[in-house]
């Protein structure tokens, strides 16, 4: 994979944590006990998990869009899986006083993970995860009622966010509960796609958090084993690609885990 070719010494591990999980590494448990070991208001909260990448310097790193999509597409244990970023606070202008909103940028399966349904319109499409067709938004139920006066014809309307036009494609229902504040800050008033760019550098952009829903009856151990197997397969393919790309230049490349290498041919 592209990020492994550019960062061959980066050791990637996958950590899952769910509300009912016990016996985890202390470093992970200490970060999450305030969030995940209390009763959660979501549907089947024991099936909710987060996935992080881990390097030598940290055991809880964000992930890149492309890495996570590899895991999601190859998974049989995840019912739905999403990425999100809480670093989104657009200014809504026009049709009243300008207002800074709390927002969340999410990939298209976020609403499925959270077991939410649209009140009006639709949620995001897979193609809207990428930069370009991402100028669409979903309003929270409260924002729709308070700022847009519960307008039933709001879907399709264009609004200005940070002085740029965006199209409202849906309104979330009241069943969409916010993530815990320790994960995403204040409850989101508006949702926009993650809008990740294409290109060779996109795999290096590790800045997204994750939330996933395990399939019914899947244990934490089964999910962990599957994702580790997926990673091992991706690393093997990356090693083959590195050797093919670099052996002519006389390079010696080391790739984690197992510190595999390919020597000059």
Digit-coded pLDDT (tens) for 194-220: 987 766 566 666 778 888 888 988 877
Residue 74 in tokens = 């190859």
Q: What is the chain's alpha carbon radius of gyration, rounded to the nearest angstrom? A: 20
Q: How are the residues of the chain apportioned to helix, strand and coil, as percentages rounded to the nearest 5?
A: 30, 30, 40
Rounded CA-CA distance 176/45 in Å is: 14
State the pLDDT at residue 242. 54
Q: What confidence tens digit (pLDDT) does each residue in 141-170 have?
A: 999 999 999 999 999 999 999 999 999 999
Has residue 95 got a pLDDT over 90?
no
Has residue 17 got a pLDDT over 60?
no
Provide the residue ranges of all domains of the chain, joining segments of one domain with +.
2-225
Rounded CA-CA distance 138/120 in Å is: 9
CA angle at 111 for the pair 199 and 225, rounded to the nearest 5°: 70
State the pLDDT at residue 92. 96
In this prediction, residues 172-180 reach a mean pLDDT of: 93
Q: What confidence tens digit (pLDDT) does each residue in 57-82 have?
A: 656 777 888 778 888 888 888 899 99
Rounded CA-CA distance 20/106 in Å is: 25
Rounded CA-CA distance 208/216 in Å is: 25
Has residue 234 got a pLDDT over 80?
no
Rounded CA-CA distance 24/30 in Å is: 10
Has residue 129 got a pLDDT over 70?
yes
State the pLDDT at residue 58. 59
In this prediction, residues 96-124 reach a mean pLDDT of: 95
Tell me the DSSP string of 103-142.
Answer: EEEE-TTHHHHTT--EEEE----GGGGBSSS--EEEE-HH
Which residue has better confidence, 83 or 224?
83
Rounded CA-CA distance 157/235 in Å is: 45
Has residue 248 got a pLDDT over 70?
no
């Amino acid at each position: 994979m592209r990020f492994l070719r550019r960062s061959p010494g980066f050791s990637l591990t996958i950590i899952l944590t769910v509300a009912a999980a016990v016996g985890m590494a202390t470093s992970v448990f200490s970060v999450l006990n305030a969030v995940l070991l209390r009763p959660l208001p979501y549907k089947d909260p024991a099936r909710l998990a987060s996935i992080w990448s881990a390097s030598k310097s940290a055991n809880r790193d964000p992930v890149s869009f492309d890495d996570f999509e590899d895991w999601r597409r190859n998974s049989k244990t995840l019912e739905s899986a999403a990425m999100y970023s809480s670093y989104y606070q657009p200014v809504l202008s026009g049709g009243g006083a300008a207002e800074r909103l709390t927002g969340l940028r999410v990939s298209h399966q976020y609403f499925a993970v959270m077991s939410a349904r649209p009140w009006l319109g639709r949620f995001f499409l897979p193609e809207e995860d990428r930069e370009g067709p991402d100028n669409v938004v979903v309003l929270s139920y409260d924002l729709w009622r308070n700022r847009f006066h519960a307008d039933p014809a709001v879907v399709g309307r264009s609004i200005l966010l940070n002085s740029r036009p965006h199209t409202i494609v849906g309104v979330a229902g009241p069943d969409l509960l916010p993530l815990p504040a320790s994960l995403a800050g204040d409850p989101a008033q508006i949702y926009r796609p993650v809008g990740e760019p294409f290109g060779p550098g996109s795999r290096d952009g590790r800045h997204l958090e994750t939330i996933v829903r395990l399939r019914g009856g899947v244990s934490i151990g089964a999910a962990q084993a599957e994702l580790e197997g997926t990673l091992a397969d991706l690393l093997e393919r990356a090693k083959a690609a590195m050797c093919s790309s670099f052996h002519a230049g006389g390079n010696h490349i080391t790739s984690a885990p197992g510190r595999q290498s390919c020597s000059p041919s």
